[in-house]
Amino acid sequence: MSQLVCIGQIINVHGVKGAVKIKSYLSNPMDIGSFESVTDQKQKRLFKIKALNQKQGIVLARIQGIETRDEAETLKGISLYIERAQLPKEKADEYYYCDLIGLTVYNQGKVFGKVLSVENFGAGDIINIQLSNGKVFPFDFSNATFPVVSVKDGYMEICLPIGLEGVLHEN
DSSP 46-92: EE-EEEEEEETTEEEEEETT--SHHHHHTTTT-EEEEEGGGSPPPPT
Final residue of a structural domain among 35, 61, 86 = 86
Per-residue pLDDT of the chain (171 residues), as tens digits, is 458 888 999 999 999 999 999 999 888 899 999 999 999 888 788 999 999 999 988 999 999 999 999 999 999 999 999 988 888 887 777 788 888 999 999 998 999 999 999 887 767 789 999 998 888 999 999 999 999 999 989 999 999 877 666 655 554
- The range of the structural domain enclosing residue 156 comes to 97-168
pTM of the model: 0.72
**Residues 77, 9 share a domain:** yes
* Same structural domain, 81 and 8: yes
> Judging by DSSP bridges, how do beta strands 104-107 and 155-157 pair with one another?
parallel
* Co-location of 82 and 102 in the same domain: no
CATH number reported for the structural domain that contains residue 147 in this entry: 2.30.30.240
Cα first-last separation, the chain: 38
CATH of the domain at 57: 2.40.30.60
**Which residue type is seen at 64?**
Q
Residue 96, pLDDT score: 83
Domain count along the chain? 2
- Rg of the chain over Cα atoms, rounded to whole angstroms, equals 19
Clarify whether residues 10 and 82 are in a common domain. yes
